[in-house]
Every structure is written in structure tokens, then in C-alpha cells.
A and B are shown apart, each in its own frame.
Chain A
Amino acid sequence: MTTAATSTSKMAAEPAGGSLRFYGVWLLGIVILIVLPMIFSSGGSLTSFSLIGIAIVFALSYNILLGQTGLLSFGHAVHYGLGGFAACHMMNAVVSHGWPIPLPFIPLFGGIGGLAFAMIIGWVMTKRAGTVFAMISLGIGELVASSSLILRSVFGGESGITTDRTALPKLLGWSFGPQLQVYYLIAFWLVLSAVAMYALTRTPLGRICNAVRDNPERVQFIGYDPHVVRYFAFCFAGFFAGIAGGLAAINFEIANSAYLGAIQSGLVLFSTFIGGTAFFFGPILGAILVTYLQLGLTNLTTAWQLYFGIIFIGIVMYSPGGIAGLLMMHRPLIRAGTLWTVIPSYFVAVVPTVALACGVILTIETVARFSGGDPINMFGIAFRATSPVTWLTAAILVVGGFFVARLTWRRIAEAWDRAATVARDRGYLA
């Protein structure tokens, strides 16, 4: 959505052109959100867009911890889930008491739910960063998730808490029955939250969060208590996660224990990391990609979690900066005008890399279906899992693809090195 980096951005004296481009990017994002459902108006795509919007808010909130303050949480879904429950209870209370609160205000109560819990447990949790914080977050996550099944009056046990979003007072004649209206409600809160979270990175607190991430020891010697800084970051992250949870509650008209659980916590970590934590827009890319993969892959294959794992390992090993990191690597080359020397090597690499990927997919699907299932359909060719031809094809693709692909990857690296050296010589940092 925006190209501003959270760590190495240009500061105070941004030239007018820069700020124009900056507002342009945000405006473009808003326009896209408005017109998307006009272009893709099927029920399925509206549902997808709604889920993506929620996932973006959630992932951005997670990056307040991971990317901006250097806190690795394994239990961020707790705030998302509690936000969802808070929103459901609030909606039911509004309906039963006849309060004049229309639906668009409900996500705020989700946020308050997430924030309240963060404020209560945060002080103890953020005493330490690093492994201690990660472990406590895991423990709290499990604790809350299991409590949600025990404390039936609050969490509704297995079935959760249901609600009816259309029963709330109407706003400007919108009942929020149709998915399209819900989509716009989510898009509205997405913009609001994204702007607020971006603005947070531009405040004294936001900058000190970065300092705590980089060097919590030194921060103490410039007057700051890193514990307080982490606590603030934790509360803000909890608040925005709660908003995301509130949006989910509105979208599904239910909140249940799955909202709070380890899978949800893992998914947001996954999205944020894949998107890239060093840039504000990274988690946005990650949330879009992961939600799409999740929706798409679950229909296509039973082994979808395996693909998630492979993608995650690949990113961790080969591109720890995530997708955003990969994209932003090109910026100095674009500025120095040397990108074109690298592009051809990309094209050369595409064919063997795709062959390798197909081989891997074929292998996974073959193994997954060995004990029965439909044949694998790839490029119109049906492969049967028990047929030796399938195994041979997979082996050739994987082994052959790998060796050829490795050669082409080396060529990319060489071309890249040359281009980066030139860029550096021309004064653009690579």
C-alpha cells in the first residue's frame, strides 16, 4: 500500500515530490478497495476480499510486535479472538438492550477487548524480549485457548457465541446483510487501521520501538525503559488485532475458540514473515498471498499445509526479508538504471524453476494419493499415483529441474552482483 520503509526511510526534509507520491500510494489503495467489488462482483470474490481485509489488519497489528519492536509472539491470536468475542457480546447486548449503536462501530469494541487483555497481561509479558517473551506468549495463547472451552458462559464452549449483524440499528439504510456491505465495512476499517498503524510508526514511540528492536540495551542509556516501550507496542498490537477479530466476528457472525488458537497465531506469523517485516507494506502482501493460498489450496489439495511449510522454509532460508524485502532489493538497481542487466537472467531461470516446482508438486501429490484418490491433473495430463510413469516423471523433473535451475540461479547471482556493484559505485546503496 505504501512504499515507506519502517527502518530506513527518508526523514524530515522529504521533497514535495516524495510526499505527493506518498499520498498517491495511499489514495490508490483506497481507490482499489472501492472499485474491487465492482470489477469482481461474484459472491466468492467478495468473501475472499473480506477475509483478506481482515487478514491485513491482523498481520499489520502483528508487525507492530515483530517488525517494529522485535517481539516474536506465538500467541497473537489471543487478542484477535478476544476482540471477536467482545464484538459478538457487544452486538448481542446492543440488540437486547436496544442501544443506538450501529454495526460500523462494533469493531472498535473488538479493539477494546484486545487492548484490555493486552493491558492486563502485557506488563508481565513484556518484561523480557527474545525467547522469554516468545515462550510466555505461547503459554498464554494455550491458556486462553483452553480456557475458552472451559468458561462456557463467556466463550460459549465448543459452539462459540453467535450473533446476528443485521439485528443492529441500521446506518444510512445499510442493513449489512449483503456481503457487499460487509466488505465495505471491512474496507473502511482496514483503511482506518492501516493509516493509524502507519502513523504510529511515525511517532516518537514508534521510532523508539525500532530502537528497542535494534538494541534494547542502548535504549536505556538514552533515557528509555525498554520494558515500557515493549508494553506500549504490545497494547497497540493487541488493540488492532482486536479490531481484526471484531471484523471477523461481523463477517462470520460467530466467535469461537478457533479464533484464539495456535493455528490462527501461526497463520499471522506466517503471513507477516512471508510478506516481510522490515517494510510497512510487507504484511499487507503477506496477508493477501496467504489468504489466497489458503482459500485456493484447501480446495485443490489435501496437502495444503505441506505447501505452506515449504514456502515458509523457502522464504526463511533464501529471502529472510520476505516478499517486500525481495521487491525492495531492486530499488537501488532501478534508481541506478542497472535493473535491465538482471532481468534476462530471471527469464532464463523461470523454465527450470517451474519444472522443479512441478516436480515437487507431483511428488507431494503422488505420495498424498498413493493409498487412493483421483488422478493428479497437471496441464491436462492425468497422472496416476500408482503408475511408475508418474514416479519417473516426478523424479526427472525434480532432479533435472534442480540441477539446471541451480545453474540459472547462479547466473542471476552473478548478474545481480555486477548490477549491484555498479549501483553502489553510482552512489545508490545496495
Chain B
Amino acid sequence: MTAAIEVRAVEKRFGNVGIIRDLNLSVAKGERHAIIGPNGAGKSTTFNLISGHIKPTSGEVRLNGDLISGLRPFEINRRGLSRSFQVTNVFARMTVWENVRCAVLWATGHRYAFWKNVDSLPEVRQRTAQILDDIHLTHRRDVPAGLLTYAEQRELEIGITIAGGATVVMLDEPTAGMSHAETDRAVSLIRRLTEGKTLVIVEHDMSVVFGLADRISVLVYGHIIASGTPEEIRRDPKVKEAYLGEEAH
């Protein structure tokens, strides 16, 4: 079976600095894959490379077997890959409802339509309402996204990411900055919303990582030093030395 995401020998240099070096990563379809690593290891950069936000200096990225490196973000998104951002990245002046609805429009085939009333598209309305319900923001639907609390914005961020129905979902530190209770809620939300999908998640909270992931990759200085099941990662001496050791949990 072809992998959902296949990253082969990807390099990324900013100027002379090699941030990503010989990156190889394979995520199987339907898998929940966590990427962990110390601050500045290049996790977000890896997300940017896969989602088309930046282009690799060399190497290739495949989505369901098709070459996507070099494509633009919206082209990759239309092929079924959606990502969230570590720093909340929503439509601040638009309401929660409109934020989610905008993320539904392309996938429901309405694209650039200027001859349809957006309020009278039943499937758009249903899907938007469903997602608002899923992310527990129905009671905040008419609030501009910029006025939400931090935790609410993080939930909206997830909502926008999954709204288009992508089969490959990438979440960059979805629980960063959340309280313990908020994290628990977010994790069960993520678990439910990505049921049957491929999930790639960057996460610093080890309990979240080991509770959620089928497989884990450890990224250090732009290179994956180990990739395997949570059990394998826990036992891996290289990981212990390079990462888990220094960030004792």
C-alpha cells in the first residue's frame, strides 16, 4: 500500500544554514503519527515543507504516491491534505461561523461561485454547524474570531483544518499553551475528528504523544533519528540520549 505521506531525502536551507538535513519520513494511511523533538529541531519547518508553505531545497514529498513537492499550498490542500498552525492563524475579523464555513466552501464544490447565495447552501450550512458542534463553539458562532479566548482560538484552528474533509490532517502543537483540562478535551476532540484519517501531529506533551500516536518520529537538528511505535521509541537509546533524556518527563 502506498504511504499517505512519503518524504524522501528532503533538504531545506535558509541561506547557508541547513535546517532540514536528509529528512526521510513515511506515514501510512490511517496512521496517527507524532513528530517530537526539541525546540528549533525543524518540526514546523517539516510541516511547511509537506504542506507547500515552503519549497524543499532538494528531495521530494509524495501524497498518496503523487509527487507534491513544488506544488502550491492550495493545490496540495485540494488533494486532501490539511494542516493547522502552531501560532493561531484564523480569519480574525470574521465570525467563528464564517471562519469554519469558508473552510467548507472549496470542498463542497462552491469554489469561486459568485452566482450562489452562500446562506442558502444546505450542505454547507449542515457541515459548518456540525463542525462548530464538534469543536464546542456553537454558542460562540457570531463572535469575531479575533475576540475568542486563546483555547477557543486553538479549537477553531482545529475546526478550520478539518472542515474541508481532508484525509490527511497535520496538526502543529494543537494543545500548546492549554491548561490540563483543556488539553484533555482537545485530545479527545482530535481523536474523534481524525477517526479513519491519517493524522500527523507535532506535540511537546509526552503523555499526549504516547497516548495518541500509533507511531512516533523523533526529529533532532532537522534529521529524523528514530521512527517507530511508542514502545520502540521509548526503548531507543539514541532517543533517550538525544531527546527524552534532556527533557525528563
Contact = CB atoms under 8 A, between A and B. Distances in A.
Instruction: Tell me if A's interface is mostly helix, strand, loop or mixed.
Output: helix
B77 A210 contact: no
B118 A206 contact: yes
Contacts of A224: 74, 106, 112
Interface residues of A, number: 36
Contacts, number: 123
Given A202-B118, A203-B118, A204-B118, A223 B164 contact: yes
A236 B73 CA distance: 26
Nearest to B100: A222
A280 interface: no
Nearest to A226: B74
A248 to B, nearest CB: 26
B114 A225 contact: no
B98 A210 contact: yes
B117 A199 contact: yes
A208 B102 contact: yes
Interface in A203-258: 203-208, 210-211, 213-215, 217-225, 228-229, 232, 236
Nearest to A9: B95
B115 interface: yes
Interface in A8-63: 8-12, 14
Contacts of B107: 223
Contacts of A211: 91, 94, 98, 102
A429 interface: yes
B223 interface: no
Nearest to B95: A8
B236 to A, nearest CB: 33
A7 interface: yes
Nearest to B113: A204
B77 A223 contact: yes
Contacts of B110: 204
Interface in A268-305: 278
Contacts of B113: 203-205
Interface string B95-129: 10110011101110011111111110100010000
Nearest to B143: A429
A200 interface: yes
A65 to B, nearest CB: 15
A429 B147 contact: yes
Contacts of B118: 202-204, 206-207
A395 B163 CA distance: 62
B116 A8 contact: no
Contacts of A199: 117
A372 to B, nearest CB: 51
B167 interface: no
Contact of B91 (A214, A228, A229, A278): A214
A231 to B, nearest CB: 9
A12 B105 contact: no
Contacts of B115: 203
A225 B93 contact: no
Contacts of B82: 221-222
Given A214-B92, A224-B106, A203 B116 contact: yes
Contacts of B78: 223
Contacts of A225: 72, 74
B153 interface: no
Contact of A206 (B53, B73, B114): B114
B103 to A, nearest CB: 4
A280 B103 CA distance: 23
A376 B190 CA distance: 72
Contact of A220 (B72, B97, B114, B121): B72
Nearest to B85: A218
Given A218-B91, A228-B112, A203 B117 contact: yes
B93 A210 contact: yes
A234 B116 CA distance: 19
A14 B97 CA distance: 13
A330 B158 CA distance: 34
Contacts of B112: 204-205, 208, 224, 228-229, 232
16 contacts: A8-B144, A10-B142, A11-B95, A11-B98, A14-B119, A203-B116, A203-B118, A208-B105, A214-B91, A214-B93, A215-B90, A218-B160, A220-B74, A221-B73, A221-B74, A223-B78
Query: What 9 A-B pairs come out closest when comparing CB atoms?
Result: A223-B106, A220-B73, A214-B91, A205-B114, A204-B110, A222-B103, A204-B113, A211-B102, A220-B74
